Amino acid sequence: MRLLPVVLTVVLSVAVAYYFYVPLPDAIQEPWKLMMVDAGFRAALYLASLKDWLGLNHYMKSFRQSTEGVEDMMKGLLSSESGGGVMPGVKVSDITFAGIPVRLYEPPAGGEGHLRRGLMYFHGGGWALGSAKMGSYDTISRIVSDELNTVVVSVEYRLYPEVHFPVPYLDCLTAAKYFLSHDVLAKYAIDPERVGVSGDSAGGNLAAAVTQEISTDDTMTVKFSVQALVYPVLQALDFNTPSYLQNKEIPILYRPMMIRFWLQYLGVDLSLQPQFLANNHSSLHQTTITPELRARVDWTVLLPQKYKKNYKLLVVEKGLQGLGKEVPGLLDMRASPLLAGPEVLGKCPRAYILTCEYDVLRDDGLMYAQRLQDAGVTVTNDHYDDGFHGCFSLITWPLEFDVGKRALRGYLNWLQNNL
């Protein structure tokens, strides 16, 4: 009988280790910490799926509640550790811009008559998760506001499953146009020549799309002077780029999960996920996908050789038919900014694009950097050889990563010198 507890303990330990363990490249530092973060996300997703199966709640709503709960707990711990929160001099207000909820961060008052920088931020989360109020996003906005004497506006755009494309984009565009009005900039003592836009992941997608629209809108007298995109997701035509294949099983953004986020955003039947995995949705039978559009996402031309390696371009001859007409958002540059033509890109402001080696979205960012440069835009690409998707937000105890702190510092330095 004494042997039974020992056996059960060993079995349980092996089972737990098996659940937590994910093979990771040697270049990723603090691997077990990343495995712990990933295990937490997977557990939350499994629980959300169970609730959905039982008819208790939509799985994405449950998943969102779980992630926000963890963030709130981390925020509480951070507040306890720091004795009341970070950057206490920053004034935080939850207001609306043209009916869109935003969280406004104002730095400590400076000298009279001195104008400040302005920055609009769109959080990530696959157009389904995240909030400006979440611990990591709130912390980063406070740091930017305090260190760079910047008025930060973090937008609470609507999310899936309540809405699909183009609603999140339109929410962000509405807030951006309001922010860029002379009256609003004057109200918050912001220099009209020093207003930027930024976002990470799906937020980087929204930032790029909004920047393109603002840059080409002749009715806008004030436009963004810079765009700072953190591992942005920029196209939905090719899910077999080198980075999608190389990093398909790297936490915390697995390839099937990113495709699922796209299907949700575009309102596509989730049962078609295998078709998108195989690039059947962008087959040659899709007559709406012209050779010109394909060239805009052709990684064999747009990526340096060190990223292409020995991977082969996958263009399927026969696949799903008529999807371009059934899902117009698939070819809409408001959803996929990488599809924009050079006449649009050439009007965009100078850009900062952060990419990570171990991220399925790496090549989206690298291709966009190249296309912007080809259109005459000045681009800074900060690439982290030990980086992974989500690291930019993992900067606070106990979920802090060295690469995340380095990425945030590089981002801040660029804004300091360019905004």
DSSP code at position 151: E
In degrees rounded to 5, what are phi and psi of residue 264?
-65, -45
Per the CB < 8 A criterion, the answer to whether 367 and 357 are in contact is no
Active site residue 238: no
Active site residue 389: yes
Per the CB < 8 A criterion, the answer to whether 281 and 275 are in contact is yes
Q: Exactly one of 62, 141, 201, 393 is catalytic; which is it?
A: 201
* Count of CB atoms situated within 10 Å of the CB of 97: 20
For residue 267, give the nearest of 163, 170, 130, 128 by alpha carbon: 163
Distances (CA, A) of 344 to 15, 17, 203, 341: 53, 50, 20, 5
Distances (CA, A) of 277 to 66, 178, 259, 350, 389: 27, 39, 7, 33, 19
Q: Exactly one of 359, 364, 382, 386 is catalytic; which is it?
A: 359
For residue 415, give the nearest of 115, 139, 134, 151 by alpha carbon: 151
Q: What end-to-end distance do the CA atoms of the chain give, in Å?
A: 70
In degrees rounded to 5, what are phi and psi of residue 196?
-115, 170
* Distance in angstroms (rounded) separating the CA atoms of residues 176 and 213: 10
User: Which residue do the tokens 């992630």 mark?
Assistant: 67
Per the CB < 8 A criterion, the answer to whether 338 and 367 are in contact is yes
Active site residue 359: yes
Per the CB < 8 A criterion, the answer to whether 346 and 375 are in contact is yes
Catalytic site residues?
A: 201, 359, 389
